Amino acid sequence: MVSVVQNVAIDCADAYELACFWSRVTGGPLHPEDRPGAPEAQVILPEGPVLHFNQVPEPKTGKNRLHLCLRPQTSREEEVERLLGLGATLAVDRREPGGAGWAVLADPEGNEFCVLRSASDRAAMGA
């Protein structure tokens, strides 16, 4: 017997607004019953677990112990710029001059996530 990951739960101050941000990031729709002000909201991804946002009273403190890593369909650089335009911030830049590495961004509530090299970025580097 094994367990299947049903969802990735993300604590936040505003479940609906943060779910809207992640919906724009992933292209996944919100659950049809989600509404502004609701204490929970979900982004339905085409593959893998659901992103489940839980409204909690305490603010985020410290670095995430678990985070999402995104592999963009466009180049990493284009995706970083797009996500910054959606309201993310650059937390730590781990990109290297030769093109390797990743960018650590934070969502509007400060939850860190990584943007990896795309398949085309990796192919261009031979990795």
Instruction: Report pLDDT digits (tens) over 61-73.
Output: 888 889 999 999 9
Q: How confident is the model at residue 2 (pLDDT cuts 50, 70, 90)?
A: very high
Q: How confident is the model at residue 20 (pLDDT cuts 50, 70, 90)?
A: very high
What is the per-residue pLDDT for 92?
Answer: 96
User: Where are the extended beta strands (E) located within 2-102?
Assistant: 7-12, 40-43, 50-55, 68-70, 89-93
Residue 89: beta bridge partners?
106
The span from the CA of 127 to the CA of 93, in Å, is 20
What is the per-residue pLDDT for 127?
Answer: 61
**How crowded is residue 82: how many other Cβ atoms within 10 Å of its Cβ?**
15
Does residue 32 surpass a pLDDT of 90? yes
pLDDT tens digits, residue range 91-114? 999 999 989 999 999 999 999 999
